[in-house]
Structure 1
Amino acid sequence: MRLNRTRPLCTREALAKERTMAMSKLTRRHFLQMTGGLLSVGALAACVPAAPAPAETTAGGEAAAPGAAAMVSEDHPLWVLHTNDFHPDYNDLIRKTIVDFATEKGWPLEVADTAGFLGGSADIQKIAAAVQAGDAPDLWMHTVNVFQMRQLGTLVPVTDIVNEVIGMYGEVTARMRNDTFVEGDFYGVPFHVRSDGGWARKDIFDAAGIDVTALKTYDELREACMEVSDPDNEMWGWGMTVNRGGDGGYLVNRVLNGWGAYWVDETGQYVEINTPEAVAAVEWLVDTYTNPQWERMLPPGVLSWTDPTNNESYLGSKIAYTQNAGTVYAKAVVDGNPVAPLTIYDLPKGGPVLESFNGLGGMNWLMIKEGKNPDAARELLMRFFTEEVLKQVYTVAKAYAVPAYESMWEWPEITDDANALAQKPAALDPTGWNGAAYPGPRTPQIGAVETANIHTDMVASVITGDATPEEAVQQAYDRAVQVFKEFGAPGER
């Protein structure tokens, strides 16, 4: 990014300048230092030089009342955090939109990225610490659990903003509403649906005479992945892990629900995972990764994969099937990777008890309490809801970012891509399957269960021989109940 000759406000030297800090006080610099690898905060890179903002006037030419511009200052720059996903072009577009808007307004800016998926709750803890210290970011774009953030007292209600966006683009999807609407108010502004489901090499399955989209269960999918595996030529069918992380947790929860096991009841207040169905689901997962019968379909090191690994393996033509949030396909399209035209979206599978259950979560904009620039944050947030920016997002992140609002599904940026349009039934499913919270509502306690990786740890303990399936399920139940009680929920009957 080119800067003018004026010294930027957010050089490393300026950001490192001491601020007064009481025992409970946390500066921005300390926030970024403390989060470090835990929050994966990137370089304090986007530095916008101070430039005099044009004076705002009324229709009669008089000076307008002080607003956002009057609040943003060198002492209190607009402070924005955004997720850093696997898709660099998507990340760059988000960052560029933020920086361009601040430059246009003449506002000093601090902007940094946070990890898109995290195997713990460090991100939530650090934001909460910043709020408590009275010096928090203004905006955060992330997929983080809104209910948990709200219970920690970190979020500002944004109902008026969401209603304004609904007025522009139609009703928000059921899952996105369920994920952001708490006790009569929205606490996150749904930005876009983040695709989730299966991604398959159609050419490879077609060569074996298999229509992967016609398969309904993970049993059928496992057999199909075995059929197309050719390890001698470095092609493995089953590109999914149960290791800690977003992708591993997604598979565990899908299998649990498909086998008729649920973490919670319909109220979301009681843990229900200690059932024979949960034991059977764990046994199936452990069999998949440890039985020599299935070894030929498993890529080397699959049990140690992190969230980016399946993307890299798929883009490198090493796996025929994976579950992913869509970054893998979007990245292939943007880069002209030869796997892009060979890739199809596949609705996620089910099990012997529940075959079909869908709902797609997504990316939200969160306004953080104790942010110094709420009016400026709102202005920036609304820039992301212009048609120009939204269409750029859907173009750059093909089939990864799809609409969270009904009318956008008719836009050519969506309808011209079969894999984007194929997700419409899942995104608009009125049941709004919501992962570990199903069949209950999203709650802070179930969010904490997921960020504590209790689901993936349950499976791992059996794979490593530390527990039997029955013991692992009971241990997971006990841990979850403890978490629920810590959040003030009964947890057990």
Structure 2
Amino acid sequence: MRLTRHLPLTTLTAAIAVAGQAQAQTEITVGTVNNNDMVIMQSLTEAFEQAHPDITLDWVVLEENVLRQRLTTDIATQGGQFDVMTIGTYEVPIWAERGWLTPLDELPADYRVDDLLQTVRDGLSHEGTLHALPFYGESSMMYYRTDLFDEAGIEVPEQPSWEQVREWAGQLHDPDNEVAGICLRGKPGWGENMAFVSTLVNTFGGRWFDMEWNPELDSPEWQEAIGFYVDLLNDYGPPGASSNGFNENQALFSSGKCAIWVDATSAAGRIYNPSESQVADRLGFAQAPVAETPKGSHWLWSWALAIPASSEKQQAAREFITWATSREYIELVGETEGWTSVPPGTRESTYANENYQQAAPFADFALEAMQSADPTDSTLEPSPYIGVQFVGIPEFQSIGTQVGQMVAAALTGDMTVEQALQSAQRATERTMQRAGYLD
């Protein structure tokens, strides 16, 4: 005879409750980039899950170029692998127009949409409706080692020129002591080297396309800008510059191995943080350098969280992205990680916060850089596109990546600058013809 063991009523009730809770939990998959701000967001998973016990987070954290490739493939094929995507001001309007993103209207009142910076909000909207919520925003600026500049007797004007920067880099380049005169992005990718290179071309007076969408990559302005960039990094850059993107250069500068670095304003919090930076007490900053024109010399970007229309967990995804981009989240990071670590460039309230103002001497400067960048007027000669460091058309992702590889080849010496730009011109002409922009 088989005996049946009966659980006590209290144990049975608890088991049923646990089973019910497990059933009710929704797991959402978040695809994000391995930048420091997102790593902090991932580290606060427990805080979110405690406040939302019915939702768990599954993180996919990837290097920038890999992330973009994975997300673009997934959303274009409606693969449904992700419930939340970390994308930017380039993708949002293009993907929203195609119906790939969930509109983010009717956000809760306590989210305070009006607190979002207007330039950032506009960049993440399609037909007046947000289709992504900004996690952090940035422009670009110049960082430099004040100790090295003071020793050399160099005074930095309010608006440096690229000619001055080259001269300073030459004076301060000290490879025997592992200090490069300057660090700049060299890793190929439309959002890596070409984000910086596009602003350099802009300020040298160049543009990607004329008003009839003819590529201008072999123009004198491009030749001068890329020649300047290649010579500058080869003469005064760190070893292996063609492998360095944003994260790699940030690590070099923070460890004292660069005299000058021109890159994102969003890095300021980390390189001013003594627990993350060896040069926090020797740090100066200035506007991004200019050449022929100030137009387009500094970029405008926002990393944002969006919900693909293919996600079957829309409500849970919305709960997460409103939490991660909220004023309360910024305060949570400030209290747990320090105020220099909060995601910058998204909310007016961040810049009005006394704690942030005291911890971040660069705050107003970075905000002004973001507000003065104009994606609708970023080139000396008129251009048909919107964007400072990118061209706001679907084809640019492949064009920018291809051109970025050719610019990197010029940097490594595998091609001359002239050969690289002639190849880039031909490849871009073919792409634009296939896409119907050109006859």
1:405 aligned to 2:347? yes
The 2-side partners of 1:162 and 1:479 are apart by 47
2:75, 2:310 within 8 Å by CA — same for their partners in 1? no
Task: Report the CA distance shift for 1:216/1:454 in structure 2 as closer, same or farther (over 3 A).
Answer: farther
Contact persistence 2:210–2:384 (CA under 8 A): yes
The CA distance in 2 between the partners of 1:375 and 1:327, in whole Å, is: 30
Q: Which moved more, 1:157-166 or 1:415-424?
A: 157-166
Letter in 1 for 2:78: Q
TM-score, normalised by the number of residues in structure 1:
0.72
Partner of 1:104: 51
The SS at the match of 2:201 is helix
Cα distance, 1:213–1:116 mapped onto 2, change above 3 Å: farther
- CA-atom RMSD in angstroms: 3.6
**For 1:328 and 1:342, how far apart are their aligned partners in 2?**
15
- Counterpart contact for 1:238–1:298, Cα < 8 Å: yes
TM-aligned CA deviation for residue 163 of structure 1: 9.3
Q: Compared with structure 1, are the counterparts of its residues 106 and 96 closer, same or farther at alpha carbon in structure 2 (3 Å cutoff)?
A: same
Query: 2:261 is matched with which residue: 322, 339, 345?
Result: 322
Question: Residue 448 of structure 1 corresponds to which residue in structure 2?
Answer: 397
Equivalence for 1:282 = 226
Query: What amino acid is the match of 2:158?
Result: A
> 2 CA distance for matches of 1:103 and 1:120?
28
Q: The residue matched to 1:199 in structure 2 has which SS?
A: strand
| C-alpha distance in structure 2 between counterparts of 1:445 and 1:439, whole Å | 14
Structure 2 residues not aligned, in runs of 5+: 1-16
Give a deviation string over 1:338-358, Cα, whole Å, max 9, x none: 411212233211212446744
Q: Structure 1 residues 162, 426: CA separation in 2 closer, same or farther (over 3 Å shift)?
A: farther
- TM-score of the superposed pair, with normalisation by structure 2: 0.80
**Cα gap change, 1:107/1:319 in structure 2, threshold over 3 Å: closer, same or farther?**
same
**1:243–1:306 contact (8 Å) kept in structure 2:** yes
| Distance change in 2, residues 1:162/1:263 (3 Å) | farther
Q: Does 1:427 align with 2:370?
A: yes
8 Å Cα contact 1:314-1:328 kept in structure 2: no
- Tell me, in whole angstroms, the C-alpha distance in 2 between the residues paired with 1:326 and 1:121: 21
Percent of residue pairs identical: 19
Given that 1:200 and 1:322 are in contact with CA atoms closer than 8 Å, whether structure 2 keeps it comes out as: yes
Aligned partners of 2:144 and 2:285 also within 8 Å: yes
TM-superposed CA distance for 1:456, in Å, is 2.4
**Residue 310 (structure 1) aligned with residue 249 (structure 2):** yes
- After superposition, the C-alpha distances for 1:369-411 in whole angstroms (9 at most, x for unaligned) are 1212212222222223443311244664727732323343211
| Mapping for residues 137-286 of structure 1, pairs under 5 Å | 137-143=82-88, 145-150=91-96, 153-161=99-107, 165=111, 167-169=113-115, 172-174=117-119, 176-194=120-138, 196-245=140-189, 246-265=191-210, 271-286=215-230
Give the match for residue 44 of structure 1.
none
Structure 2 SS opposite 1:369: coil
CA distance in 2, matches of 1:106, 1:353: 53
1:312 deviation in Å?
Answer: 2.1
Answer whether contact 2:274 2:281 (CA < 8 A) is retained: no
Distance 1:188 1:445, change over 3 A: same
SS at 2:397's partner residue?
helix
Pair 359,286 (structure 1): closer, same or farther in 2 beyond 3 Å = closer
In 1: Cα distance, 2:109 partner to 2:208 partner:
32
Q: Report the CA distance between 1:423 and its aligned residue.
A: 0.7
Give deviations 1:122-180, integer Å, cap 9, x for gaps: 22334226x624x34222234372244346643112244499855451x5332x24532
Change (3 A) 1:489 1:94: farther
Aligned with residue 31 of structure 2, among 81, 85, 106? 81
**1:418 deviation in Å?**
0.8
User: Separation in 1 of the partners of 2:18 and 2:214?
Assistant: 52
Q: Aligned partner of 1:157: which letter?
A: P
What's the CA shift for 1:260?
0.9
5 Å-filtered alignment, 1:86-97, equals 87=36, 90-97=37-44
Q: Distance in 1 between matches of 2:281 and 2:227?
A: 36
State the match for 1:361 in structure 2: 301
Residue 119 of structure 1 deviates from its aligned partner by 6.4
Paired residues in the alignment total 411
Cα–Cα, structure 1 residues 259 and 403, in superposed 2: closer, same or farther, change >3 Å? closer
Distance 1:154 1:100 in 2: 30
Partner of 1:459: 407
How far apart, CA to CA, are the structure 2 residues paired with 1:447 and 1:163?
36
Q: Are the equivalent residues in 2 in contact too, given 1:213–1:347 (CA < 8 A)? A: no
2:217–2:425 Cα contact (<8 Å) kept: yes
Q: Give the conservation status (yes or no) of the 8 Å contact 2:133–2:322.
A: no
Deviation at 1:50, TM superposition (A): 6.9
Q: 1:137 to 1:286 in 2, by over 3 A?
A: closer
- Distance in 2, matches of 1:157 and 1:471, equals 44
In structure 2, give the amino acid aligned to 1:263: W
Distance 1:357 1:258, change over 3 A: closer
Counterpart Cα distance in 1 of 2:319 and 2:245: 36
User: Counterpart in 1 of 2:5?
Assistant: none
Q: Which residue of 2 aligns with 1:380?
A: 320
Q: Cα gap change, 1:458/1:82 in structure 2, threshold over 3 Å: closer, same or farther?
A: closer
Q: Which residue of structure 1 aligns with residue 420 of structure 2?
A: 472
Shift in Å at residue 116 of structure 1?
5.1
